[in-house]
Amino acid sequence: MNLLMPVALLAASVLSLPVQAATAFPTKPIRIIVAYTPAGTTDILARAVGQKMSEAWGQPVIIDNRPGANGNIGTEIAARAIPDGHSLVMATAGTHGINVSLYRKLNWHPVKDFVPVSLTAMVPNIMVVNNSLPVKNVKEFIAHVKANPGKLSYGSPGNGSTAHLSMELFKTMTGSNIVHIPYKGSAGVLADVMGGQIAVTIDNMPPYVPQVRAGKIRALAVSTAKRSSAMPDLPTIAEAGVPGYEAGAWFGLLAPVGTPKAVVAKLSAESARILKLPDVNKRISELGADPVGSTPEEFVALIQSEIAKWAKVIKDANVELQ
């Protein structure tokens, strides 16, 4: 009798377990944690992807909104979830690019505690000014600010937001002196830019586009390296006078560390397929976002580069939250 035969069979069966697990996945409802309130961009993207996953796999996809502490509460819940692929988080540039440098202590780490699945979408920030400001483009804006140091103010939806740090990066790169006024969300920022209480913001694009098109505020540029498909005639800040400038928001799915690679690969492939569907692509594009769909390796490279970039911005601007 060949005693090695049972051992070989056992080894083969053990090696096949991850493949079997991925083939059977999902075996129960999937939860996508959103660390923000419903109806925001993060929530909308999670629901768009989740609906199609449910249709394809025959399992419910539950969107679990856990807002608070600049995204830290929901993200920590996701980090502590069972790593079997049935719990995911729709991460943002804030949770996985900024917060690790913004807070003295976090109970989770954006790289060590998560496995990237797929980058879902990139969302430009848009630079807008109130109509009474005597500027028509970025170069004129910079000249106006330098002629009036400390006299102009900008708004953001909160300390540590991508809008806040996008303007701090702009200030650093242009040597501008503009006063920061934090709000509790973009609605207040938009209202006060239109009303003339603040001069400018560089905020997530979706809420501002309708008001720009209605002529209630003036758009100067977008913050990303490429122009936005939602407003292709609008230049980038880099094109308009600040070479090398790049900032913006991004959103993507991650799983808790320890999730099987085969399951992550299946989730990543399905996410990429969903984001190419015409109806999903159209819905996301209408938000002013650009659908992506990436490999886990591409996504982790983005996260690492974003952490490094925002760490420098935060240090240069001397920003810290408790």
Write out the DSSP string of 53-75.
Answer: HHHHHSS-EEEEE---GGGHHHH
CA distance 115 to 177: 39
113 and 131 in a single domain? The answer is no
Q: Predicted confidence band at 211 (pLDDT cuts at 50, 70, 90)? A: very high
Query: Residue 33: in which H helix or E strand, if any?
Result: strand 30-34
Higher model confidence: residue 4 or residue 54?
A: 54
**Residue 150 token pair:** 């400390």
- The total of structural domains in the chain comes to 2
Residue 29 has pLDDT above 90, yes or no: yes
CA distance 17 to 5: 19
CA distance 156 to 258: 36
Residue 18 has pLDDT above 60, yes or no: no
Are the C-beta atoms of 219 and 120 separated by less than 8 Å? no
The pLDDT score that the predictor gives to residue 322 is 57
The pLDDT score that the predictor gives to residue 210 is 87
Express each pLDDT in 155-185 by its tens digit: 988 888 889 999 999 999 999 999 999 887 7
CATH number, domain of 293, equals 3.40.190.150
35 and 113 in a single domain? The answer is yes
In a domain, 231, yes or no: no
Q: Is the pTM of this model over 0.75?
A: yes
In a domain, 234, yes or no: no
176 and 201 in a single domain? The answer is yes
CATH number, domain of 140, equals 3.40.190.10
In a domain, 229, yes or no: no
283 and 200 in a single domain? The answer is no
| Spatial CA neighbour of 199 closest among 188, 208, 184, 189 | 189
Express each pLDDT in 267-298 by its tens digit: 999 999 999 999 999 888 877 888 999 999 99
Express each pLDDT in 149-158 by its tens digit: 999 999 988 8
* 65 burial type by CB count under 10 A (0-12 exposed, 13-18 middle, 19+ buried): middle
Q: Which amino acid, residue 306?
A: E
In a domain, 103, yes or no: yes
CA distance 240 to 144: 15
116 and 148 in a single domain? The answer is no
33 and 173 in a single domain? The answer is no
99 and 159 in a single domain? The answer is no
In a domain, 217, yes or no: yes
**Once rounded to an integer, what is the mean pLDDT over residues 257-274?**
97
In a domain, 3, yes or no: no
In a domain, 45, yes or no: yes
Full domain range(s) for residue 217 = 125-222
In a domain, 167, yes or no: yes
Are the C-beta atoms of 13 and 230 separated by less than 8 Å? no
156 and 88 in a single domain? The answer is no
**Once rounded to an integer, what is the mean pLDDT over residues 45-61?**
96
The rounded mean pLDDT for the chain is 90
Q: Predicted confidence band at 104 (pLDDT cuts at 50, 70, 90)? A: confident
Classify 100 in phi/psi space as left (phi over 0), alpha (psi -120 to 50) or beta: alpha
Last residue of a domain, one of 222, 257, 287: 222
CA distance 153 to 197: 8
Last residue of a domain, one of 222, 239, 270: 222
90 and 170 in a single domain? The answer is no
134 and 196 in a single domain? The answer is yes
CA distance 20 to 298: 26
116 and 134 in a single domain? The answer is no
Q: Predicted confidence band at 22 (pLDDT cuts at 50, 70, 90)? A: low
106 and 132 in a single domain? The answer is no
Last residue of a domain, one of 187, 222, 257: 222
**Once rounded to an integer, what is the mean pLDDT over residues 24-38?**
93
The pLDDT score that the predictor gives to residue 7 is 59
Residue 243 has pLDDT above 70, yes or no: yes
Q: Predicted confidence band at 4 (pLDDT cuts at 50, 70, 90)? A: low
Higher model confidence: residue 22 or residue 143?
A: 143
